[in-house]
């Protein structure tokens, strides 16, 4: 997708972080927007500065884990905008807990948003894209969809699942004009660590406040920088978009040392 002017972009998780930054930057490129988030107040805070003449913008308070709601959202977007060109499944949450202590309800909550939200968003809009023979689907995984970490088993499972789902989708659509990208951010300075369901850190001692402070120290990429990288990746039709030097480093480490990277990574994080 070389130009965004006049196109319609759908962004979930648009109330903050990468979603808000993507909305800002796509609007600046003349892209019409359908923005969704479960937090209606944050969603409106994203949308209000973007309302301008010539830009069609709709907001949709939405729980992406709800299949019926997601399909109703797609219908609403198409009724309002008449088309969908770019679907960015970005909404995500986190849980920090060992697998032994992880509660089923926390696991199901996270998978409902991180994985099923991506599935729902893809399947809700894919028939329209196929009918019109154009478009781009962007599913946000994580560097934790490439490497695994202790206390991140649920998050790892969801993001590995997003990666596998997206790579299969790309292969299925390779003979069409519909492009598919999987995004793997590293540490991005957003509120995801503060809004996580936090029970236990990797050392078994760190509390939520200290974990958020550690995340802030390690997260070197801003949401605005991440959005710019993602948009460039979309323009270049990249199948895999790595966001941040840390993501690129960990991707290389996993490729080089697929069996032993967990030990090295654990040592690095305990020092951080």
Residues carrying an active site annotation: 155
Question: In DSSP terms, which residues pair with 32 in a beta bridge?
Answer: 8
Report CA-CA distances (Å) from 164 to 145, 147, 161: 9, 14, 5
Which of 7, 9, 1 lies closest to 36 in space, CA to CA? 9
Segment 163-207, tens digit of pLDDT? 999 999 999 999 999 999 999 999 886 666 556 656 665 555 555
Which of 72, 63, 60, 18 lies closest to 36 in space, CA to CA? 60
Q: What is the pLDDT of residue 209?
A: 55
Domain ranges of the chain: 8-271
Q: What is the pLDDT of residue 62?
A: 97
| Residue reference for tokens 């090295």 | 264
Segment 123-157, tens digit of pLDDT? 999 999 999 999 999 999 999 999 998 899 999 99
| Residue reference for tokens 């550690």 | 214
Buried-exposed string 30-63: b where 16+ CB fall within 10 A, e elsewhere: ebbbbbbbbeeebbeebbeebeeeeeebbbbbbb
Q: What is the pLDDT of residue 221?
A: 86
Is the model's pLDDT at 266 over the cut of 90? Answer: no
Q: What is the pLDDT of residue 242?
A: 97
Check if the beta carbon of residue 71 is closer than 8 Å to that of residue 120. Answer: yes
Radius of gyration of the chain (CA): 18
Residues 44-53, mean pLDDT to the nearest whole number: 93
| H helices present in the chain, as ranges | 17-28, 40-47, 67-81, 104-114, 116-132, 153-172, 208-218, 223-235, 245-256, 261-271
Q: What is the pLDDT of residue 206?
A: 54
Which of 40, 46, 38, 41 lies closest to 9 in space, CA to CA? 46
Check if the beta carbon of residue 114 is closer than 8 Å to that of residue 155. Answer: yes
For residues 59 and 78, what is the distance between their CA atoms, to the nearest angstrom? 13
Instruction: For the chain, give the percent of residues with pLDDT over 90.
Output: 77
Buried-exposed string 217-247: b where 16+ CB fall within 10 A, e elsewhere: eebebbbbbbbebbbebbeeebebbbbbebb
Which of 62, 49, 123, 68 lies closest to 91 in space, CA to CA? 62
Return the CATH number of 8-271, one of 3.40.50.720, 3.40.640.10, 3.40.50.10140, 3.20.20.70: 3.40.50.720
């Amino acid at each position: 997708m070389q130009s965004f002017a006049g196109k319609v972009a759908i962004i979930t998780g648009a109330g903050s972080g990468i979603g808000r930054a993507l909305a800002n930057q796509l609007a600046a490129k003349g892209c019409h927007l359908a923005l969704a988030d479960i937090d209606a107040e944050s969603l409106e805070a994203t949308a209000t500065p973007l309302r301008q003449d010539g830009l069609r913008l709709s907001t949709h308070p939405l729980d992406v884990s709800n299949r019926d709601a997601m399909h109703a959202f797609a219908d609403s977007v198409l009724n309002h905008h008449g088309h969908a060109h770019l679907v960015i499944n970005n909404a995500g949450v986190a849980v920090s807990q060992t697998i032994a202590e992880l509660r089923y309800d926390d696991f199901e909550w996270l998978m409902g948003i991180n994985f099923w939200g991506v599935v729902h968003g893809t399947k809700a809009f894919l028939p329209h894209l196929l009918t019109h023979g154009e478009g781009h689907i962007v599913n946000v995984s994580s560097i934790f969809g490439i490497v695994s970490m202790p206390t991140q088993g649920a998050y790892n499972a969801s993001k590995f699942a997003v990666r596998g789902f997206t790579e299969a989708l790309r292969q299925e659509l390779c003979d069409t004009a519909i492009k598919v990208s999987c995004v793997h951010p590293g540490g991005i300075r957003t509120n995801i660590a503060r809004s996580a369901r936090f029970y236990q850190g990797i050392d078994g001692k760190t509390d939520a406040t200290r974990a958020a402070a550690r995340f802030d120290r390690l997260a070197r990429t801003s949401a605005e920088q991440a959005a710019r990288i993602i948009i460039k990746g979309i323009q270049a039709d990249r199948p895999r978009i790595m966001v941040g030097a840390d993501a690129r480093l960990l991707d290389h480490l996993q490729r080089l040392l697929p069996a032993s990277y967990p030990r090295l990574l654990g040592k690095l994080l305990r020092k951080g």
